[in-house]
Amino acid sequence: MLKCQKIFKLNKIILVLMIIFFTAAPIQAQTEKEIEFWTINLKNSYQNYFLNKISQYEADNPEIKIIWEDISFSSINQQLRYRIAEGNVPEVVNLSPQLMASLLKAELLFPISSLDKNYSSSYYPLLWENGSYQEQYYAFPWYLSSKLMVFNQEIFKIAGHNPAEIPETKTELFNLAEKITEKTGVYGLMPQIKIQHEFLEAGIDLFKVEAGQTKAAFNNQKAVEIIKNYQKLAAEGVIPADSLSAGFNIALERYQNNDLAILFTAPQFLSQIESESVYLNDVTALAAVPTAAEGVINAALMNLVIPKGADHKSEAADFAHFITSAEAQQEFSQLASVLPSAVIEESAEFETEEIIFRKKAEESLSSSAQKILRKQLPRYQDLTLVHPRADQLIKIMEEQFARAFAGKITAEAALNIMEEKWNQILAEVD
């Protein structure tokens, strides 16, 4: 009898344990939905920001566990492809448009537009469009950076131009640069010319489809005029002859030595101008980059994407939307001195400023720069050429434009060669 009682008690214990196990199993399963999140070169400087955001998200979504990995820019593409081939992919990955290109062509990314959610309303339209490919959307736009126009007010005055009259278009910019060089002998400007960007800013399509075949679409009169304008400025000495090869450091040095009137720069280099001399700091003013007719300003954008093989696509999209939300981006943009892709309700200080700024005596160049850059947010677009053979296509453009810029061939000849070589490569891809 005693033995039966012991067996009964043992069975009862086993039954209770089984009930606990099976009732707890669903809860345990809910907490094991892991989202692996990759960023690029951000952990050293912004670890606390991301850990706080992850903790906040996990607290609001207890069924989700975020696994954060920070990868170097040079290795992220290789590591991601290795994980895709292995069948064990991260759910949310930080990629530039350039890194996305080959993955899109290989259909390795998940179209977030296939989810029944209105994510697009959170972002500036041109930046959201950057994530489109074949009528689907694959990216949450995140943070970005761009350039602004830095100019020497004293040189403007010597040339007989009022520094308060800021050029807003490329035509006005080129006319002013010619006037400066003619009146002062100083180089008017030294842009870092990317001819494919020049075409896109002017509203010129790079590709077209004819009878199912992708072909070059940029060989037109508008493109001819763009190249001719740069040929003219180079021939007149308005733009230095070494502009295509010298690089930004030479342009900055010329500006610091008062040999260049207008400089295009990212804001992080303004400290070098401020520290060069009291005189240069005092005469330097800032403005938005003059644009072509379309009004687009090139920006370097970072995105968050979801690989096609991700296990938890919907949850991954929600987390990516959280990290790129207006609230999260406002905090991150101030912390990292980058620009947000999300539409943020600005303070009255930004609302009342004019579109074009001059540096106020009481504020630093960096402070003025942030106001200028943020005011232009609706006009920014990443003009990276998204194509699996982009490097080859860009090289062709750069080589032929360099020949035209140096006066070795005509603008028309340069475009004809570009078109012919592009079509050969595009035929191989299709």
Taking CA atoms, 409 is separated from 192, 194, 415, 416, in Å, by 21, 18, 10, 11
With 0-12 CB in 10 A as exposed, 13-18 as middle and 19+ as buried, what is 160?
exposed
Lowest-pLDDT range, 63-72, 213-222, 349-358? 349-358
CA dihedral 279, 281, 287, 292 (to 10 degrees): 70
Q: Are 226 and 198 in contact (CB under 8 A)?
A: yes
Largest CA distance in the chain: 116
Q: Are 151 and 287 in contact (CB under 8 A)?
A: yes
- Distance, in Å, from the CA atom of 218 to the CA atom of 204, rounded to the nearest integer, reads 6
- Distance, in Å, from the CA atom of 13 to the CA atom of 16, rounded to the nearest integer, reads 5
- Distance, in Å, from the CA atom of 215 to the CA atom of 209, rounded to the nearest integer, reads 6
Has residue 15 got a pLDDT over 60?
no
Residue 386, pLDDT score: 84
- Distance, in Å, from the CA atom of 321 to the CA atom of 327, rounded to the nearest integer, reads 11
Q: What are the percentages of helix, strand and coil residues in the chain, rounded to 5?
A: 55, 20, 30
Has residue 118 got a pLDDT over 60?
yes
Q: In what order do the strands lie in the sheet with 148-152?
A: 187-189, 260-265, 148-152, 284-287
Q: What is the pTM of this model?
A: 0.85
Give the pLDDT band (50/70/90) at residue 367: confident
**Assign residue 349 a region: left if phi > 0, alpha if psi is -120 to 50, beta otherwise?**
alpha
Rounded average pLDDT over 288-303:
92
Contact residues for 408 (Cβ-Cβ < 8 A; gap 6+) = none
Q: How confident is the prediction for the chain on average, in pLDDT?
A: 90
- Distance, in Å, from the CA atom of 321 to the CA atom of 318, rounded to the nearest integer, reads 5
Report pLDDT digits (tens) over 135-153. Answer: 999 999 999 999 999 999 9
